[in-house]
Amino acid sequence: MKHLVSAMSLVLGAASIGATALVAVPASAQQAPAGAATPDQQKAAAAFIDKLAADAFVVLRDKSLTKDQARTKFRALLRNNFAVDEAGLRLIRRYRAPNSPIKLTDAQLTAYRQALPDFLINTYSDRLYDFASSKVTIVRTVPRGNRGDVDVVTRITDPKGGKPIDATWAVKGGAKPLVNNITVNGVNVALTQEADFSAYIEKNGFDALVDFMKKSK
């Protein structure tokens, strides 16, 4: 689980909070094939990531807030902009399938869904202060699928001279856009999380995973 926690922390700390100068989508933003996100939808997805980063920095740079107060505001920001429940169910899709090696009860699934938001948000917020001066630039947008989803490709640069990070935000289309996955330097975070969850469940059981999530503050 240490690998899972560090991966989650890196992604949100670097990408969600490390943005000071997001730029407009280039004119060369990819055109959408039939049924996919239109150029306007792609621009809207980029604007959504722009606002998410800007709002995060308002919290980060508010010197009137204590660390705990900033984290509380940041957690609320995440709850409003990340498809936490959808992403969480994807992490345990193997155990929700008809041929699952473990048959989850309704009570187990409910306990998992209740523990998930705080687990993810607490993990993410721990990296909040590590990337305060980073800069994120939107490189391009790419339509994904045929439901209006968009991948927003960004480049994260560290003013301290660290190696740039390429992060792609998977933005779910709809009346309210939400982030439902991130790929960092070619590593699909959802797949990594899913593998780590599966390994933990296989070794310790599903209930142990939920208990671990509840205790991770």
Q: For 100, what's the count of Cα atoms within 13 Å in the CB-facing half-sphere?
A: 15
Q: Check residue 28 and give its pLDDT.
A: 43
Q: Check residue 13 and give its pLDDT.
A: 38
Taking a C-beta distance cutoff of 8 angstroms, is the pair 4, 10 a contact? no
Q: Check residue 186 and give its pLDDT.
A: 86
Q: Check residue 174 and give its pLDDT.
A: 83
Q: What percent of the chain has pLDDT over 70?
A: 77
Beta partners for residue 182, in sequence order: 169
Q: Check residue 130 and give its pLDDT.
A: 58
- Rounded CA gap, 96 and 78, in Å? 26
Taking a C-beta distance cutoff of 8 angstroms, is the pair 137, 166 a contact? no
Which of the four pLDDT bands, split at 50, 70 and 90, describes residue 56?
confident
- For the segment 69-82, the average pLDDT, to the nearest whole number, is 84
Which of the four pLDDT bands, split at 50, 70 and 90, describes residue 163?
confident
Q: Check residue 7 and give its pLDDT.
A: 38
Which of the four pLDDT bands, split at 50, 70 and 90, describes residue 131?
low
Q: Check residue 196 and give its pLDDT.
A: 92
Q: Check residue 133 and give its pLDDT.
A: 64
| Span of 1-15, 32-46, 137-151 with lowest mean pLDDT | 1-15
Q: Which long-range contacts (CB under 8 A, 24 or more apart) does 179-186 make?
A: 179/49, 179/52, 179/81, 179/82, 179/83, 180/82, 180/83, 180/86, 180/87, 181/87, 182/11, 182/12, 182/15, 184/10, 184/11, 184/14, 184/15
- CA angle (72, 74, 75) in 5-degree steps: 65
Q: Check residue 31 and give its pLDDT.
A: 53
Nearest CA among 126, 146, 139 for reference residue 169? 139
Which of the four pLDDT bands, split at 50, 70 and 90, describes residue 139?
very high
